[in-house]
Amino acid sequence: MSGILAGKVALVTGASSGIGEGIALGLAEAGAAVALCARRADRLEAMARQIEAAGGRALVLAGDVVDAEFAASAVQQTIDHFGQLDILVNSAGIIQMSWVENADLEEYRRVMDVNVMATLYTCRAAIPHMKARGTGDIINITSQAGRKVAPIFNSYSASKHAANALTEGLRREVGEHGVRVSILMPGATQSEVAENMSDEKTKLFMRHHVSKDGVVLPKDIADTVVLMVSLPRRAHISEVTVRPTNDVTG
């Protein structure tokens, strides 16, 4: 497939819906071969068929990146299949309502595992390959919650602050090796993020939040990612927030 990213290979986690799906399709449209990673194999297979029907190349990697062995395997399978890995986008993420007092410890741990540890696992596996080639892009999808705190979403805010710190530390660690590492913080973006929430009242709130008038679309985030990775290697967008134009709350 021709395009500005022709010859590049990308791995996208959380690729079966929402922001991850939009990014994967956007990268493929721009010419990249894309490894699609998420738990829902049926959705990934349908996406792969869509990409291939348009002349692109896709690889389905069904599994949970919270499993460190699977996450590392997904990186290696991408390299083995396509011969290289140029772009890693960590988009897998979940949100739950959680105060600290009376926190559901299993839910809290799951949020941290998906939003922080899974990102660590894929980054850790990708870095040696990218360093050896002297090039690469890692984009970690975090949130505006990584710059402020909502007490009712304590675990989510804590995880996104941690993901931002992990990403910034990694940027400083590998930048001199030609690897660009970036934080991308979406505001309210159309997605299915509410559907796995256990608290029904908060689920209804979140459904409205990500579907109200003027929300960012996954394609908008995808276009931002394509811009970031297509810049000359000397230039690096290390941190970007994409929020709805009508969001003037601060």
Q: Active-site residue numbers? A: 156
Dihedral (CA of 175, 139, 160, 93) sign = negative
Strand pairing report for 136-141 and 58-62: unpaired
Strand pairing report for 136-141 and 179-186: parallel
Q: Are the C-beta atoms of 129 and 176 separated by less than 8 Å? A: no
Query: What is each CA distance from 191 to 55, 83, 230, in whole angstroms?
Result: 26, 32, 25
Nearest in space to 127 (alpha carbons), one of 192, 193, 165, 171:
171
DSSP letter string, 127-157: HHHHHHHT-EEEEEE--GGGTS--TTBHHHH
Work out the burial of residue 84: count CB atoms within 10 Å of its CB; fewer than 13 is exposed, 13-18 middle, 19 or more buried: middle
In the DSSP assignment, the letter for residue 217 is P
In the DSSP assignment, the letter for residue 117 is I
Query: What is each CA distance from 233 to 88, 95, 166, 172, 189, in whole angstroms?
Result: 16, 34, 22, 16, 29
Tokens of 167: 């990403």
